[in-house]
Chains A and B, each alone.
Chain A
Amino acid sequence: MIGLTHYLIVSLVVFALGLFCVLTRRNAIGILMGVELILNSANINYLAFARFGSGNYDGQIFAIFVIMLAAAEAVVGLAIVLGIYQTFRTIDVSATETLRG
C-alpha cells in the first residue's frame, strides 16, 4: 500500500534534483527548469498532505496556485533570458557578471 511516506520521498528526490540542477547549471534555461522541479516537488507535498492529512481541498487549491505561479514565473524568467541573450549573445549566466559590486 502506497502511503504518505512514499509521496514525500518522491517529492524529496524531485526537490534534490531541482536544487542540484539550479546550483550546477550555467545555462539560464537549465536553472529555470531546476526551479520548475522544485516547485513541482512542493506541489507533490501539497497534494500528499491534502490526501492523507487534513482531508479538505486547501492543498489542491494551493497546488493550482503554484502551477499558475510557475507559469507566470516562466514567462518572466524566459523574457529575462531573452534579454540576456540579446545583450550578451549567450545564455551562460557566468557571462552576466557585470552587476557585481
Chain B
Amino acid sequence: MDEPTSVAYLRWIPLLPLLGAALNGVAGAPLQRRFGKGVVTAIACLPVAAAFLLACRAFNDLLALPAAERLLLDRVWTWIDVGALRVDAAFAIDPLAAVMALVVTGVGGLIHVYSAGYMHDEPSYWRYFALLNLFTAMMLILVLADNLLLLFVGWEGVGLCSYALIGFWYANHDNATAGSKAFIVNRIGDFGFTLGMFLLFWTMSAAGHPTLAFRELGANAHVLADATFLGWGAATVITALMFVGATGKSAQIPLYVWLPDAMAGPTPVSALIHAATMVTAGVYLIARLDFLFVMAPATLAVIAWVGALTALLAATIGTVQTDIKKVLAYSTISQLGYMVLALGVAAPAAAVFHLMTHAFFKACLFLGAGSVIFALHHEQDLRRMGGLRAWMPVTYGTFLVSTLAIAGFPPFSGFFSKDEILWKAFSSEQGGVALWFVGWLAAGLTAFYMFRLVFLAFHGDSRIDAQARRHLAESPASMTVPLVVLAAFAVVAGFVGVPAALGGSNRIEHWLAPAFAATTEHGAHHSAALEYGLMALSVGAGLAGLALAHAMYVTGRVSADLFARFGGGVPYRLATNKYYVDEIYQAVFVAGVLRLSRLGAAFDARVVDAAVNGVAAVVRGVSRANGGFDRIVVDGFVDRVADATLLAGGVLRRLQTGSINLYLYAIVAGVVVVMIAKLL
C-alpha cells in the first residue's frame, strides 16, 4: 500500500481547542475575575476558529490530490506497542473526515460565538467555555482518529463533555440526573462498541493482520469474510456490536431515551452536542467502518429498520410535545433515524450528506429556540409563546428557513439530502417499498410538527404574560449573526448534492466516494420518472403536514382536540407519554437492577457477612488459646528463669563481704590452689 501524504499540521486541529480548554479550565476563574469575560471568550473562540482554518487548509490539500489518493496523515507518536498490537496516536483526514471536521469546527465555531451572547450572565462562564472547547477537541479527535482506539478516546471524551454540559446547572437535581442518564445509557452502548472492537482486533489478529488502523483494516477486511464467531459470521457479530454503540451515541431505538432529557443543558450545548455533532458520531462510526458493514447484510437490514422506525416513532412523539426544546430533541432523533436508515441501505454518502445539512438547519433551529428562550427569560413552554415574529424578526426568519429545510421543501438543503435517503431506501438492494414508506410517513410528520412549532411560537396571538412581554426584544448580534450564517448554509448546503435526476452532479457523493470504496454501485436501475414521482410524493407529504399544522394552529379549521380524541385517545396518550418507554425501562431495567442489588445486599448481609463473622470467631478462639499458652507456658518459663537468677543472686551476694582482708586471703588461697594444681 502506498504511504499517504504526511502533513504535520493535522494534530493542531484537535490540539488547539484542547489548549483553549486547558487554559480556561485551569486559569479561567481568575482570568474572568481579573480581566472580564472577554478574555475567556477570546481563549475559547480563537482556537476553534484557527482549527476551522486548518480544516479548510486540509480540505484544500485534499482537493489538490487525485481522488484515489485523498488521504493526509499526521503520525504524532506510537501510543501503544505491546506484542502484536501497535497503535499510533495518529490523525488522518480523508474526504469523509474532512466533511466532519469542517462541520464540527464551522458549526462549532458559530455556536461558540453564539454562546458568548447566550451565556453572558452566567457566573461560571469560564467553566462553560472550557467544557465546550474540550468537547470540540474530543469531537475532532473522534473525527480525525487514524485508528479505532483513538476514535474511542474521542468517543468517550465527547460523552464525558456531554455529561458535564447537560448537568452544567448541576444545582438543579433534575439536570444532574439527566446528565447521569445520558452517560449511563451511552455506557450501555459503549459496551457494544468495545466488544466489537475487541472482536475485530481478535479476528484480524487470528488472520495475521493485527491492526486497528482504518487504512489497514480496510485493505485487509476480506479476511473476515471466512471468519466465524460462535457460528455467526464474524463481520455480522462485529458490526452488530458496533451498531449497539452507535444506537447509544446517535440516540436510536432502544437507547434514544437520554437525548430528550439532555435538553436540560444550556441551549447552545443542545445545538452543538445534541444536534449537530456528537449525536452524529454513531453515524460517522458506521460510515467510517463502511467496509465492514457491507460485508454484513443481516446487520444492515437491522440498521435500516431501526433507523426507519426511530425516525417514525420520534416524529410521532414530536407532534405532541409542548416544550420547544423537546420538540427539537425528538426531531433530532427522527433525523438521526434517517441517517441510520441511509446507512442501513448501504448509502453512507447520503447519510453523511444529510448529517451535514442537518448540522446546519438543526443547529440553526436550536439556536433560534435558544434565542426565543433567552428573550423570554427561560420560558420553554410553547403554550406560553405565540406571536413572536413581531418582536424577533431575525430569529423568526432564520427559524422559518431552517424549518423549510428540515421539512424537505425544495430548494432548501433538507430536500436534497432527505430525498436522497428516501430514494436510496426505495431503490437500493437493501431497501424496499416498506422502508421508503416509513421514511415518507416520518417526512410528513416532520413537516407537521415543525410547522406546529413555528405557528405556536411565532404566529397567532401572544400568550406571553405581561411581565415578560415588557422586556421582549431581539437577541444581541453575537446571537443573530450565527443564526443568519447557519440559515444561509441551511439554504445552500443542499446544492452540493443535487441528484443527477435534477440535472445536478451530486458532487458530495463523488467527493465521498473514495471513503466508501467498498460500497458497490447498486445494480438495480430505476427510471428517472419514478424518482421524480417519489420526490413529488415526499414534497406532497411535507405540504400535507404544513397544511394540517396551518389548519390546526392558525385558522383553527381542524380542531386539535379531534386529533387528540382519535381512536379513543389512545394514540394521543401513547404519544404524549412517549410510549411509556421511560416507564418501561424504569420498571424493567432500573427496578430490576435495584432488585438485583437488594438481593445482592441481602446475600452480602446474610451469607458473606456471616461467613466473615464465622471466620472472625474462629480466629478469636485460636487467639485466645494462643494467648493462654503464651501466658502459662512461655511467660511461666521466663518467670522461672528470672526467679532462679534472683535466688542465685541472693545466695552469691553473701560472698561479697566488703572485708579487704578476706579478699586478700581469697586471692592467696586461689594462687595456692592454682600452684598446687600446676604441681600435680
Contact = CB atoms under 8 A, between A and B. Distances in A.
Interface of A: 19, 22-23, 26, 31, 93-94, 96-101
Contacts of B657: 97, 100-101
A22 B664 CA distance: 8
Contacts of B659: 93-94, 97, 100
Most chain A beta-carbon contacts within 10 A, residue among B652, B653, B661: B661
B201 to A, nearest CB: 88
A87 to B, nearest CB: 14
A93 B661 CA distance: 8
Given A98-B658, A100-B658, 10 more contacts: A23-B664, A93-B660, A94-B661, A96-B660, A99-B656, A99-B658, A100-B656, A101-B653, A101-B655, A101-B658
Given A100-B656, A101-B656, A19 B668 contact: yes
A23 B672 CA distance: 14
Nearest to A97: B658
A71 to B, nearest CB: 22
17 contacts: A19-B668, A23-B661, A23-B664, A23-B665, A23-B668, A31-B664, A93-B660, A94-B661, A96-B658, A97-B657, A97-B658, A97-B659, A100-B656, A100-B658, A101-B655, A101-B657, A101-B658
A81 to B, nearest CB: 12
B654 interface: yes
A26 B661 contact: yes
Interface in B622-680: 652-661, 664-665, 668
A38 B379 CA distance: 124
Contacts of A98: 658
B652 to A, nearest CB: 8
A16 B665 CA distance: 14
Nearest to B653: A101
A31 B663 CA distance: 13
A44 B581 CA distance: 126
A31 B661 CA distance: 9
Contacts, number: 33
A98 B656 CA distance: 10
Contacts of B668: 19, 23
Nearest to B652: A101
Which bucket holds chain B's interface residue count? 10 to 19
A19 to B, nearest CB: 7
Nearest to A98: B658
Contacts of B664: 22-23, 31
A85 to B, nearest CB: 15
Nearest to B649: A101
A26 B661 CA distance: 8
B663 to A, nearest CB: 10
Contacts of B652: 101
Contacts of B665: 23
Contacts of B656: 99-101
Nearest to A24: B661
B660 to A, nearest CB: 5
A101 B654 contact: yes
Nearest to A26: B661
A19 B653 CA distance: 27
The 6 closest A-B pairs by CB, nearest first: A101-B656, A100-B658, A101-B653, A97-B658, A99-B658, A93-B660
Contacts of A22: 664
Contacts of B658: 96-101
B270 to A, nearest CB: 99
B669 to A, nearest CB: 11
Given A19-B668, A23-B665, A23-B668, A31 B660 contact: yes
Contacts of B660: 31, 93, 96
Contacts of A99: 656, 658
A98 B664 CA distance: 17
A94 B661 CA distance: 8
Contacts of B661: 23, 26, 93-94
Contacts of A97: 657-659
B651 to A, nearest CB: 10
A93 B658 CA distance: 9
A96 B665 CA distance: 17
A98 B657 CA distance: 9
B664 to A, nearest CB: 6
Nearest to A31: B660
A66 B657 CA distance: 31
Contacts of A94: 659, 661
A96 to B, nearest CB: 7
A19 B664 CA distance: 9
Nearest to A94: B659
A90 to B, nearest CB: 14
Contacts of A101: 652-658
Interface string B448-481: 0000000000000000000000000000000000
Nearest to A25: B661
A92 to B, nearest CB: 11
Contacts of A100: 656-659
Contacts of A93: 659-661
B603 to A, nearest CB: 73
A2 to B, nearest CB: 28
B659 to A, nearest CB: 6
A26 to B, nearest CB: 7
A23 to B, nearest CB: 6
B673 to A, nearest CB: 16
Nearest to A22: B664
A49 to B, nearest CB: 19
Nearest to B650: A101
A22 B663 CA distance: 11
Contacts of B655: 101
Nearest to B659: A97
A23 B663 CA distance: 9
